[in-house]
């Protein structure tokens, strides 16, 4: 049992390190203006908004990932691989964020940005399913599974809608991404309990 716990802890530790690197890479993309005036910051508003949303998204993902890891028993090879897929999708976020910022929330970059959020959410849903499938039924009730699945489907529908809307109305699509993320802010869907 001790060796199995170490494996789950190693999975958590590795994931935490990847999240830290992703945030660091994103910060390195921020470029200060050359002019020594506050007015020079105003043209950077797309960068500030896209960076803030991406940072919030990563924070939400990390909190939810951390919450799910509490239910992991001995990690299966499938769980480890879907965790890698999930982390890979998240690692693309600095690129998409930079493109959205540089193009001032243009349509194609926002479609890619929202599409990346969809991919991250799909990978998260599979990860969540794998975690709950291997979790002790005393810790993860059928109601918890149902509520988590329902929330995940609502978020996925919201992000997919945002991606499609961004084709014709990029800023509305950006707003829909923000709205969809609100559903994932609490790591526990309604009906979850801390045990």
Q: Average pLDDT over the chain, rounded to whole?
A: 88
Q: Kindly tell me the burial class for residue 77, based on how many C-beta atoms sit within 10 Å of its own C-beta (0-12, 13-18, 19 or more).
A: exposed
Q: What is the mean pLDDT of residues 86-111?
A: 94
- The yes-or-no verdict on residue 27 having pLDDT over 60 is yes
Q: Please, which pLDDT band fits residue 6 given cuts at 50, 70 and 90?
A: low
pLDDT in the model for residue 191: 45
CATH hierarchy code of domain 2-182? 1.20.1410
- The yes-or-no verdict on residue 193 having pLDDT over 90 is no
Higher pLDDT, residue 138 or 166: 166
Q: What is the mean pLDDT of residues 178-183?
A: 88
Per the structure block, which two tokens stand in for 175?
């707003």
State the CB neighbour count (10 A cutoff) for residue 176.
Answer: 21
Condensed to tens digits (0 to 9), the pLDDT of residues 111-146 reads 999 999 999 999 999 999 899 888 776 777 788 888
Predicted structure pTM score: 0.86
């Amino acid at each position: 049992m001790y060796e199995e716990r170490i494996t789950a802890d190693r999975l958590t530790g590795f994931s935490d390190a990847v999240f830290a690197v992703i945030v660091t890479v994103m910060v390195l993309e921020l470029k200060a203006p050359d002019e020594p005036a506050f007015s020079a910051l105003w043209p950077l508003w797309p960068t500030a908004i896209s960076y803030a949303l991406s940072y919030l998204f990563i924070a939400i993902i990390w909190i939810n990932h951390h919450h799910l890891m509490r239910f992991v028993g001995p990690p299966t090879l499938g769980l480890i691989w879907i965790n890698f897929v999930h982390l890979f999708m998240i690692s693309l976020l600095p690129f998409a964020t930079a493109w959205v910022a540089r193009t001032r929330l243009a349509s194609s970059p926002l479609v890619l940005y929202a599409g990346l959020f969809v991919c991250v959410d799909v990978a998260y849903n599979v990860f969540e399913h794998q975690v709950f499938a291997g979790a002790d039924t005393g810790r993860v009730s059928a109601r918890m599974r149902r509520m988590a699945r329902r929330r995940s489907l609502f978020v996925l529908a919201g992000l997919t809608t945002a991606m499609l809307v961004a084709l014709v109305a990029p800023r509305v699509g950006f707003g829909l991404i923000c709205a969809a993320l609100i559903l994932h802010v609490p790591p526990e869907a309604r009906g979850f309990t801390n045990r």
